[in-house]
Structure 1
Amino acid sequence: MRPIAAFVLSMLLCSCAHYATPGGPAPLAELGAAADAATQPPSPQLPMTLAIVRIQAPGYRSASATALGGGRYSVLPGSEPQTSLAALAQWPLVGTAIALDPALLPRSFETLDALRLAAAKRQADVLFFYTVDTRFEADGQSYAAASELPIGKAPPAGARLLSTASGRFVDVRTGYPFGGAEGRAESGDLASAWKTPAALDARRLDAERQARDALFADAAKTWQQIAARYQ
């Protein structure tokens, strides 16, 4: 192929590239409302075992992960690195921090009961469930979850991505709600990442890690209030 023809072809291929934005967040407010209806007092055993799980919208997919299960929400396993679990285990009155075992989860999720049962099988006392909402904006347009984002050329004006991580603590045995937390992160100046799906997804993952870190920092403050009840 002649050099000029090859260059034109490469430009055409580049201009037609697309990036699949990740799926949406789980309906945390609805699930939390069900927990808020719990009337039985919490019953943790000390030191407590804290179970962590990330949930997303049904059928959640991203360029790097696929969630499990259907129904009202899905579960994204393997979201918690051992370093994060070790850090959470240092919180007051926490003996162990664990991730939920996918083998203990059902195929469909309608309420928090499925997660509480999986946590109970691991003898957990408190469950922290959270979700991540990542959105892309360009040219004043917000791209919905699981949509095609055209890339491969100069990024539109104001191109950025916003990631929000939100979570709640509930008592595993009674469903009693202890409180919630939230963390946010923003990534602008996407010029270098707008060229390929891999580069753009790397920026997404970085923003989501920052949002999760901010979530856990805020969750630590909520946990201080929870632990104060039993100290």
Structure 2
Amino acid sequence: MNRRILVSLLALGLSILQGCATYTTPAAGVNMAALGDGDISALMSLEPAVQFPARLATVRVQSSGYHSLTADSYGSGQFSVVTTRDIESADDLQRLASQDQLSAVAPMTRLILPQELNTLRDLRLGAARLKADLLLVYTLDTSFNVESTALGPLSAITLGFLPNKQAFVSATTSALLVDVRTGFVYGAAEATERESQRATVWNSREAIDSARQRAEAQSFHSFVGEFERLWQATLAEHLTVVEPEPVAPPAPRPTPEPTLTPSLPPVLDPTPGTYTF
């Protein structure tokens, strides 16, 4: 009898532990405005220096200490870098690389980045090691909502006790296109997508994180379309088209002077006393 009671208590304890398990929402994205130089005069003095066709480096940044079930981050300071491609599909990356006047596209890795990351200049140094002309810096900001309740970054969601209400994950991809040499910002792009479902489906960490991944992947996919528009606007403003030098038509060849046939001397007739002309 005591053994049965002990087994029952253990089963009850396991069910309580499972019901009290939590999912911690990932840290927030990065405020892009905080990455640059805050001095207005310095910002106004920046000039573009890109030469087309250009080489593009890409990097995803998140807040310091970012972690999810599918990716970790590198670096300390004001932000960190995520080098794992967990939400960027191969098709979307191929679309980025296939833009006009792009000779090469390369992701940045931790091998070329400093440990301390505080400003865009730290990222530009890494891009310069890749001999890149331009740097695409992007971040994902993801929020979790259950009906009207917003769950911010690093919030603990208790599994098994969510109400039977509508829940959704909203993800926004924001990016800057930066000149590696000068820090000049060519423009910004942004896209937001939402993944909705019933909150009762969020019965495990994997289920909630799967909703996050779908929302972030859809957001990045939409962002690629926004980047294409930004890139075309950048080319329209900064691509210098060199017109070919006009080729002069060949000079007409001079008309040759007519050749006069010289008159021949009279032929002497062998017959004595007569001449033939």
Question: TM-score by structure 2 length?
Answer: 0.76
- For the 8 Å contact 1:21–1:147, the answer to whether it is kept is yes
The answer on 1:77 being equivalent to 2:83 is yes
* Aligned sequence identity (%): 32
Cα distance in 2 for partners of 1:191, 1:141 equals: 12
CA RMSD after TM alignment? 2.3
In structure 1, the partner of 2:61 is 55
Higher Cα Rg, which structure: 2
Distance 1:94 1:6 in 2: 62
Q: Separation in 2 of the partners of 1:46 and 1:17?
A: 53
Q: 2:49 aligns with which of 40, 43, 51?
A: 43
Structure with larger RCO (C-alpha < 8 A, sep 6+): 1
Give 2:123's aligned residue: 115
* 1:15 and 2:23 aligned: no
**1 CA distance for matches of 2:209 and 2:215?**
10
1:224 corresponds to which residue? 232
Distance 1:38 1:122 in 2: 27
Superposed displacement of residue 190, structure 1: 3.6
Are 2:95 and 1:91 aligned?
no
Alignment partner, residue 178 of structure 1: 186
Moved >6 Å (runs of 4+): 1-7
1:74-223 to 2 correspondence within 5 Å? 74-79=80-85, 80=88, 82-191=90-199, 193-223=201-231
Aligned equivalents of 2:25 and 2:151: distance in 1?
8
Instruction: Give unpaired runs (5+ residues) of structure 2.
Output: 242-277
Segment drifting more, 155-164 vs 206-215 = 155-164
In structure 1, the gaps of 5 or more residues are: none
Distance 2:190 2:210 in 1: 22
TM-score (norm 1): 0.90
- Equivalent residue pairs, number: 231
Which deviations, in whole Å up to 9, do the C-alpha atoms of 1:168-202 show, x marking residues without a partner?
A: 10101000010000011111114464011011111
